[in-house]
Chain A
Amino acid sequence: MVRLITHNLLACHVRGCNSNNFPLQFQDVQIGLREAEFNPDFLRGFLPKIEWNALVGAARQLGDTSLPEEQPSMLDDDFLKTLHHVLLEIHVEEGAMVCPNCKHVYPISNGIPNMLLAEHEIG
């Protein structure tokens, strides 16, 4: 778990941490690959929500360089399959996500990220 689709939707939410708080940086990760069902309609529908640069960056950080630097305008099947693999089939099982701005560490254990904040971070 912690697939890149999730990573692409989570920002640091510490009080006052409002800029440069996304994307979170992966740290000391263990990854696993697991097959998921390919649904092109879902991908097409979800694409407008994706922060492309963050997705490409996160994939490269995990050693996957299959995505192009620029989001292609043509959504052919090959591209959607690559996108499917990157978004849904790479799972970060252990490690952490770190805020690039305030350096808050969100630990990931057994695939579940702990996004709880400490008392002094909620204000």
Chain B
Amino acid sequence: MRTAYLFVFAQAHQDFRLPEILSIAELHGFTITFPKEGQDPSRPFVVLELEEEHHARLLARRCILIKAVYEFYAQGSTYEEVHEANRRNRHLWSRYIENTSFKFMVSAHNHTIPQWRQREVIESFSYMDFMGRIDMKDPEIVIGCFEEYPNRSGTTRAKDEGDGEFIQVWFGRLIEEGSARPLIKKFDVKKRAYYGNTSMEAEISLFMANQSLASPGKLVYDPFMGTGSMAYTTAHFGAQVFGSDIDGRQMRGKGDQPGIVRAASQYGVSARILDLCTFDITHNPWRCGELFDAIITDPPYGVRAGAKRLGRKKHRPDLTPSTPASVRDPDMPYIPPTKPYELAELARDLVLLSRYLLKPRGRLVFFLPTVTDEYQEVDVQTMLCEGMEVIANSLQDFGSWGRRLVTIRKTTLERYPAPTFDARLPAPNGSEDVAAHVPAHQDFRRRYFEGFRKVVDDESNK
């Protein structure tokens, strides 16, 4: 028999909430059911069903976006409805009547309830007849009542104006406060021993680590390691991490000890950074495939850091090819020429490489920037290949552009050869339409610097 739980989410990254809890449920091998059709996951209160209370605790301890989980007693658009439902669910709370110390908490989302009405609300629940001691510091149970108001930011209003005009009231008993959210402070980029201008913010790095199902004994790879933002959070959850980057300077920083190792030591996870290597993923030295449980990365998309691959922009027959370090002055390290790596091409290559390097059921978790107005569902399909399936696609909206966190699972057991990264073949599984579709992330860099103007606008301005 499943029990309903009320999830209270942090008011951030709405699109990421459900993918995160589904990932953590998969990690621990349990399932979540959605009892009500049409619950809006962009609202901070969601009721979900679980088999065991323990599962609710596991979610609260690992999910970055969970503020708290309550045993669900009642909800309603008026207090009459809430009380009626709560009376029906008496069997859920009757065992606390006799002798349980408790604390009663009333709060609101998008609003502050005045003290006098908080008291009124508490007293309206007096029919529950709890006889235990009221204990504000160390109660045995915490009962929570939440009023959810519409977002009225941007309007000026008098104190307490609109009080009581809530959309919904939610009521339940606290199971566990979310204890993963404080990790955002721990991994704060500004307090990190080593970071760069493209380091990923802590909250998203933690979220990505959850999407990758990082846990002890897993092997995770970041092929665009940069300053290692995701490596720290992934390692924090117990996984071992490999990193590579075409530009070793990003991983090293100044000083003898690589910057990434210094930052990892700060978090006590340096032993889990298995190794860092300098190479280009399109010319990679991996001896075999099916090595990793997850690939987690934030590929450069050409705005703050340009994506590069080995090679030259144009073939120059008049130049003799440059020579490697062994032939030159040893004090002058050899730096091979690089050329830009177009984003849509990079994304397709990354999926192909992941199919080769991931174990079956392994996950690829990465960010794809995109032009908000032009994005279509099919964009993500253009980079898929056989045996790889999108399981989550969440938008972080920045206005005219945004980035999508895409989670792809390797569904195939078949072994594929290492990708060659040369000819631009259309995606093999796609229909002609998908193959011919130009995704909104193509040429992202150029369009970013053009301010995402549409071609039509250009002509009308002339």
Q: Report if A and B associate in a common complex.
A: yes
* A interface list, Cβ under 8 A from B: 1-3, 5-6, 8-13, 22, 34-37, 39, 41-42, 45-46, 49, 51, 88, 104-105, 107, 110-122
Contact of B312 among A22, A42, A119 (CB under 8 A): A119
CB-based nearest A residue for B270: A34
* Pairwise interchain contact A121-B271, C-beta atoms closer than 8 A: no
> Does B197 count as interface, using CB distance less than 8 angstroms?
no
Contacts of B132 in A (CB 8 A): none
* Pairwise interchain contact A42-B240, C-beta atoms closer than 8 A: yes
Contacts of A121 in B (CB 8 A): 324
Contacts of B261 in A (CB 8 A): 1, 111
Please report which residues of chain B, range 302-347, place their CB below 8 angstroms from some CB of chain A when the two chains form the complex.
310-312, 321-326, 333-334, 336-337
Q: A12 CA to B218 CA in the complex, in Å?
A: 26
Q: A88 CA to B218 CA in the complex, in Å?
A: 14
Asked whether A3 and B274 contact (CB < 8 A) given A110-B256, A110-B257, A112-B251, the answer is: yes
> Does B252 count as interface, using CB distance less than 8 angstroms?
yes
> Does B248 count as interface, using CB distance less than 8 angstroms?
yes
Contact of A111 among B258, B310, B312 (CB under 8 A): B258
* Pairwise interchain contact B275-A6, C-beta atoms closer than 8 A: yes
Could you pull out 5 A-B pairs where Cβ atoms are within 8 angstroms?
A6-B275, A45-B217, A114-B333, A116-B310, A117-B283
Contacts of B285 in A (CB 8 A): 10-13, 115
* Pairwise interchain contact B277-A10, C-beta atoms closer than 8 A: yes
Contacts of B333 in A (CB 8 A): 114
* Interface membership of chain B positions 152-193, coded 1 if the CB is closer than 8 angstroms to chain A and 0 otherwise: 000000000000000000000000000000000000000000
* Interface membership of chain B positions 399-440, coded 1 if the CB is closer than 8 angstroms to chain A and 0 otherwise: 000000000000000000000000000000000000000000
Please give the distance in Å from A29's CB to the nearest CB on chain B: 15
> Does B287 count as interface, using CB distance less than 8 angstroms?
yes
Contacts of A105 in B (CB 8 A): 324-326
Asked whether A9 and B219 contact (CB < 8 A) given A104-B324, A119-B321, the answer is: no
CB-based nearest A residue for B330: A107
Contacts of B240 in A (CB 8 A): 42
Contacts of B456 in A (CB 8 A): none
CB-based nearest A residue for B240: A42
* Pairwise interchain contact B288-A49, C-beta atoms closer than 8 A: yes
* Pairwise interchain contact A41-B217, C-beta atoms closer than 8 A: yes
Please give the distance in Å from A36's CB to the nearest CB on chain B: 4
* Pairwise interchain contact A115-B278, C-beta atoms closer than 8 A: yes
* Interface membership of chain B positions 264-279, coded 1 if the CB is closer than 8 angstroms to chain A and 0 otherwise: 0000000111111111
Asked whether A1 and B278 contact (CB < 8 A) given A42-B217, A112-B251, the answer is: no
Q: A77 CA to B271 CA in the complex, in Å?
A: 21
Q: A39 CA to B272 CA in the complex, in Å?
A: 11
Asked whether A118 and B277 contact (CB < 8 A) given A45-B217, A46-B219, A112-B251, the answer is: no
Contacts of B325 in A (CB 8 A): 105, 107
Please report which residues of chain B, range 31-69, place their CB below 8 angstroms from some CB of chain A when the two chains form the complex.
none
Asked whether A116 and B279 contact (CB < 8 A) given A10-B285, A12-B285, the answer is: yes
The 5 closest A-B pairs by CB, nearest first: A115-B279, A118-B324, A6-B275, A42-B217, A11-B287
Contacts of B286 in A (CB 8 A): 9-11
Asked whether A112 and B248 contact (CB < 8 A) given A6-B275, A120-B321, the answer is: yes
Please give the distance in Å from B174's CB to the nearest CB on chain A: 34
Q: A122 CA to B272 CA in the complex, in Å?
A: 32
* Pairwise interchain contact A122-B283, C-beta atoms closer than 8 A: yes
Asked whether A118 and B321 contact (CB < 8 A) given A13-B285, A105-B326, A112-B248, the answer is: yes
> Does B280 count as interface, using CB distance less than 8 angstroms?
yes
Contacts of B11 in A (CB 8 A): none
CB-based nearest A residue for B260: A112
Q: A1 CA to B284 CA in the complex, in Å?
A: 19
* Pairwise interchain contact A39-B310, C-beta atoms closer than 8 A: no
Q: A42 CA to B240 CA in the complex, in Å?
A: 10
Q: A123 CA to B348 CA in the complex, in Å?
A: 22
* Pairwise interchain contact A37-B278, C-beta atoms closer than 8 A: no
Q: A104 CA to B246 CA in the complex, in Å?
A: 18
* Interface membership of chain B positions 228-263, coded 1 if the CB is closer than 8 angstroms to chain A and 0 otherwise: 000000000000101010101001100011100100
* Pairwise interchain contact B322-A35, C-beta atoms closer than 8 A: no
Contact of B277 among A6, A11, A37 (CB under 8 A): A6
Q: A112 CA to B244 CA in the complex, in Å?
A: 10
